[in-house]
Amino acid sequence: MHFLLGFLLGYYTRNRPLLAATLLGIALVCFIVVPAIALSGLALSVRRERLSRPPQTRVPPLVGLDYKTAETTLHNAKLNIRVLAQRYDTPIEPGKILFQTPQAGESVACGTVVGIVISKEDYDYKKGPGP
C-alpha cells in the first residue's frame, strides 16, 4: 500500500494529475469498495444463518431438586423432562434428582428433553418397594 501511495504521489508531483486521479480511483475501488461489498454480503449471510437456527435456552441446574420443582423450572425454561432411571441405593432422601443430562448451563434448543436420574425409596428385593 505504501508503494502504491508513493507511486501516485510521484505521478501527481510530475504534473500528471489526471493519471494520478485515475489510479487513485482504481485503488479506492479495489482496496476499499470491493472488500466492503464482500464483507456486507458475508454479514448478511451470517445473519441469515443465525436466524434459521431454532431458538436457544440454557439448561437450569436440577440436581438436588424434587421432581415437581424441576418440572416447573424446566417448563419455565421451555424445556421438557424425562426420568431416565430411579436409584434405590442412595443415601439421599427419596424424590430428589441425582443427575441430569444435558448438564446445567449448556445451551440447547427450546423443547429439548432433559433426562434425570431420581432417588427412590429403599427397595427390599423380598418385599418390593419400601413403605
Same domain, 41 and 73: no
- Give the residue numbers spanning the domain of 61: 56-122
pTM score, whole prediction: 0.57
pLDDT at 36 over 90: yes
Mean pLDDT of the chain: 85
Whole-angstrom distance, CA of residue 118 vs CA of residue 93? 10
Whole-angstrom distance, CA of residue 114 vs CA of residue 111? 9
Same domain, 78 and 118: yes
Q: What CATH code is carried by the domain that includes residue 64? A: 3.30.10.20
| Dihedral sign, Cα of residue 73, residue 61, residue 103, residue 86 | negative
Same domain, 75 and 40: no
Q: What is the mean pLDDT of residues 63-71?
A: 94
Specify the range with the lowest mean pLDDT, choosing from 12-26, 56-70, 86-100: 12-26
Same domain, 47 and 63: no
Beta bridge partners of 108: 57
Beta bridge partners of 59: none
Closest CA to 58 of 126, 117, 104, 120: 104
Q: What pLDDT was estimated at residue 21?
A: 78
Same domain, 62 and 103: yes
Whole-angstrom distance, CA of residue 19 vs CA of residue 120? 87
- C-alpha cell, 99: 443427575
DSSP structural state of residue 92:
S
